[in-house]
Amino acid sequence: MSHLLPLRRAPTAQGRTIARAAVRALHTEVALYPKPGLVSLIDSGAHHDMDATTFLRSLFSLRHYFAAIADLGAAGHPFASLQWLGMRAEQRMLTATGGINTHRGAIFCLGLLAAAAGWRLAHGQRPDRATLARTVVEVWGEAIAEAGSLSRTSNGSRAVRRYGARGAREEVLEGFPTLITVALPALDEVQTGLGCARRARVQALFAVMAELEDTNLLHRGGPDGLAFVQREARLFLERGGVHAPDWMERAVALHRACIQRHLSPGGAADVLAAACFVKDLEE
C-alpha cells in the first residue's frame, strides 16, 4: 500500500534533530497529568476510543514526517508540498491508530513550525519563538490562506464553520498568538519561578484553556462546553494556578468534571505541545 511507504528515505541530520524535538514535545504532552479531559499515561480522560498506547503508536508513525517536513522547509518548498506531506502523514497516523484521530492538529501546526525551523537553520538563523511564527506567515502564509487547513472534514473544521470560531488556520495566519503570548509566557514564568517543568506545563495548559476558542470543545460541548472550560480555567489561574498549595486537587477536580461532561480541550493540548517544541529548540 503506497501510503505505508516512508515519507522520506534519507532525512538530513538537521531534519532528524527537529523531528526528535517534535516527537519529544508530543510525548511530553501525553505524559503530563493532570490535564482536564485529556488522555495521559494515567487515564483516557473524556475519550472512550483511545488511550496513551494509541498516542504512542501515533507518535511512532509521525517521526519520519517531522524530519521530512523540516527538510522541505529548509529547501524552501511551497506549501502545496508541505500540505501533501501532511496528508500522507495523516494517512499513516490513521493506519497506526485504527482510524482514530490523535494528532491531526499537530500534523498541521507543529508540522509548519518544524518546516519553519528547517528554513531558519538553512539560512543560518536561530529558530526562536518570534522568528518561527513569522517565518510560517511570511514564507507560506498566502498559500495557507488560499488552501485552508489540511483537512476540511475534521471535527475542528466543522466547528469553525458551525460556530464561526477561530480555528488552527486562523491561529497560524495570525502568527500563532496563543502560542506566543499565552502558552510560552506561562511556561517561562513558572519554570523560572518554581523550577518545575511539570507545573510549568500545567500552568501553560490552563492559560491556553482560559483563552483559546478550542474547536474540540465546541465540537463536543458546543458554546456551553467551551464557556465552562474557559471559566473554570480562569478561576484556577485567579486562585493562584500551580502556585497555590491545592493546585493538584483543583486540577484533578476539573479533569473529572470534564470527563463527566465528555469535554476534551484537544486544541489547547496542541498549543502546549507546540510550546514545548519551541522551548526545546530555543534551549
Residue with cell 494556578: 241
Q: What pLDDT score does 166 carry?
A: 75
What is the number of other CB atoms lying within 10 angstroms of the CB of residue 78? 11
Instruction: Kindly report the backbone phi and psi dihedral angles of residue 93, in degrees, each rounded to the nearest multiple of 5, phi listed first.
Output: -60, -50
Asked if residues 82 and 69 have their Cβ atoms less than 8 Å apart, the reply is yes
Within 32-176, where are the H helices? Answer: 52-74, 79-97, 104-122, 129-135, 141-147, 155-163, 168-173
This prediction's pTM: 0.92
Q: List the chain residues with pLDDT less than 70.
A: 1-9, 148-165
What lies within 8 Å, CB to CB, of 198 at 6+ separation is 32
Q: What pLDDT score does 269 carry?
A: 97
* Cα torsion angle, 93, 179, 264, 242, sign: positive
Q: What pLDDT score does 39 carry?
A: 97
What is the C-alpha to C-alpha distance for residues 30 and 88, in angstroms, rounded to an integer?
A: 23
What is the C-alpha to C-alpha distance for residues 191 and 118, in angstroms, rounded to an integer?
A: 27
What is the C-alpha to C-alpha distance for residues 185 and 154, in angstroms, rounded to an integer?
A: 30
